[in-house]
Amino acid sequence: MTPGGPPRTLDLDFGRVGVQICFDLGFPENWQSLASQGARAIFWPSAYDGGFPLRVYAFLHHVWVISSTHAGASRIVDPCGEILEETTDASPVAVRDVNLDYVVSHWDFNMGVPDRIRAAYAGRVDVRAWDAGAAHMVVEPTDPTVTTDRLQEEIGFEACSQYFERHRDAYRQIRERREPAPQNARHGTRAQYAK
């Protein structure tokens, strides 16, 4: 990577990541570029702690944001924008296991998904929903033998990106004065707002 060059992802043994550095916080297009390239985590070393924008980037792009800062707090922010760990004067290191095999899913048609996952995979998969108004949840296996592909196939839920892309296609067809194709969602015929 060189200054002024395009942001690039790195494929590591634990997943695809990106890096933004300090002043890069002010360039949303670079964060979007890394997310579009499939980054699952973006590391952000910086002279300052970045504050709220790091949470925004995590939520908007559904990526982990992991910071290491010279001043203020270093943080581990989950793909829904929630701070899971951060440094303090008493605790100068933030530590948490992070699985880059996760899914951010919308609550529509998936109200019962957390209960189904907990019943079938108790203690092996973390399902987190912080802000009900944001209508998103993170599904993150904590057992290395469980994959999100397996969970999605078995329980029938999809990532927000899939859900929104189906709607983008439908809206495009409506604007073209065509009848939208039937939506084939993994949830089948589950009710939109019921368990």
Give CA–CA dist 50/72, Å, rounded. 9
Domain regions of the chain by residue span: 10-86, 103-175
Contacts of 149 (CB under 8 A, 6+ apart): none
- pLDDT at position 195 is 83
Whether the pTM exceeds 0.95: the reply is: no
- pLDDT at position 14 is 92
pLDDT of 24-58, one tens digit each?
999 999 999 999 999 999 999 999 999 999 999 99
- pLDDT at position 40 is 98
Q: What is the dihedral of CA 151, 36, 18, 101, to 10 degrees?
A: 0
Question: Phi then psi for 70, rounded to 5 degrees?
Answer: -80, -40
Spans of the chain below 70 pLDDT: 1-2, 132
- pLDDT at position 183 is 77
**From the CA atom positions of the chain, what is the Rg in Å?**
18
Give CA–CA dist 176/12, Å, rounded. 42
What single string gives the DSSP state of each residue in 11-49?
EETTEEEEE--GGGGG-HHHHHHHHHTT-SEEEEEESS-
